[in-house]
Amino acid sequence: MYDIKALYEAQSVGEAVSLRLEHPDAHIIAGGSDVLIKMREGKLAGCELLSIYGIDALRGVTMEDDGTIRIGSLTSFSHITKSPIIQEHINVLGEAVDQVGGPQIRNIGTIGGNTCNGVTSADSASTLLAWDAIVELTGKDGVRRLPIRDFYIKAGVVDLHPDEIQTAILIPKEAYAGYQGHYIKYAMRNAMDIATTGCSVNVKLSADKKTLEDVRIAYGVAGPVPMRCPTAEALAKGKAVSAEVVEAFGQAVLEDINPRDSWRASKAFRQHIAVELAKRALQKSIELAGGAL
């Protein structure tokens, strides 16, 4: 069923880096929910695999001394959704990854695999982008950290050096403190389906809940990689909370997104959905933050 040339199993980050250098053509496998499907389809016939699934140090959600939320790259979607830290501070991420596939996929699929495969439809990607997440990569020269917006290069390609593995996703305190967010996935089915479009919005309101101090919005499947909408963000920032701002915010996303035509949905349909999702996600985020329209 699976045509595998060789399987190498790492028990530590250091060993994984060494194996990456020794076997540069090996494909990294974590939960396997993406790689094994490709193998069954014959797309990776005769490949070498480097399993990092045994590195327990890469599992779990913790909070560092400075308030940064650290999500180990091997943390499953189910673990993220149930994490008390996620539920208290960035519950929208738990809600987003809870829409990935079905229960079996969520139990085995990892946040690292979901981001490293580079696909724009990944449910975690747009939400992490809206949280200004930072990707931690570890290689022979040590640890490298970069904003997740710079991690995605083009469709299916991420900035992962030949000797590196992704070790964590970090969300700084300043990126989540005082914010509330909402993610909406539009798909043809309620489960076991890839997003036609995904939209994640975060807001920070003033103390009197009347002003949008900050707004962040990110999309999946609105371009070749997950993307932010700086035009819409700039339009809403500093404005009074109102239905008019919500409407203008939704229309402004069309200045930044660039969805494509595909058999799943036309470009025009994705643009229409993107506008509606932006408005709904912003309105819900305002409500979660204690504001009212």
| β-bridge pairing 197-205 and 180-186 | antiparallel
Q: CA–CA separation, 114 vs 136, rounded Å?
A: 14
CATH class of 4-51: alpha beta
Q: Using N-to-C axis directions, what is the helix angle for 267-288 and 243-252, rounded to 10°?
A: 140
CATH of 59-174, one of 3.20.20.140, 3.30.465.10, 3.30.2270.10, 3.40.50.300: 3.30.465.10
Which tokens hold the place of 286? 């305002």
Q: What is the pLDDT of residue 256?
A: 96
Q: What is the pTM of this model?
A: 0.94
User: For the purposes of burial, counting CB atoms within 10 Å of the CB of 24, is it exposed (0-12), middle (13-18) or buried (19 or more)?
Assistant: exposed
Q: What percent of the chain has pLDDT over 70?
A: 98
In 10 A of CB 265, how many CB atoms?
Answer: 20
Render the burial of 122-155: b for 16+ CB within 10 Å, e for the rest.
bbbbbbbbbbbbbbbbbbeeeeeeeebbebbeee
Q: CA–CA separation, 215 vs 263, rounded Å?
A: 32
pLDDT digits (tens, 9 = 90+) for 208-258: 999 999 999 999 989 999 999 999 999 999 999 999 999 999 999 999 999
pLDDT digits (tens, 9 = 90+) for 172-207: 999 999 999 999 998 877 666 678 899 999 999 999
Q: What is the 3-state secondary structure (H, E, C) of 100-111?
A: CCCHHHHHHCEH
pLDDT digits (tens, 9 = 90+) for 98-117: 988 788 889 889 999 999 98
CATH class of 178-288: alpha beta
Q: What is the pLDDT of residue 103?
A: 83
Tell me the mean pLDDT in the region 40-66.
91
Distances (CA, A) of 181 to 32, 143, 163, 280, 286: 30, 30, 35, 11, 8
Tell me the mean pLDDT in the region 89-97.
95
Q: What is the pLDDT of residue 1?
A: 61
List the domain boundaries for the chain. Answer: 4-51, 59-174, 178-288
Which are the contacts of 133, defined by CB distance < 8 A and separation ≥ 6? Answer: 147, 148, 169, 170, 171, 175
Average pLDDT over the chain, rounded to whole? 93
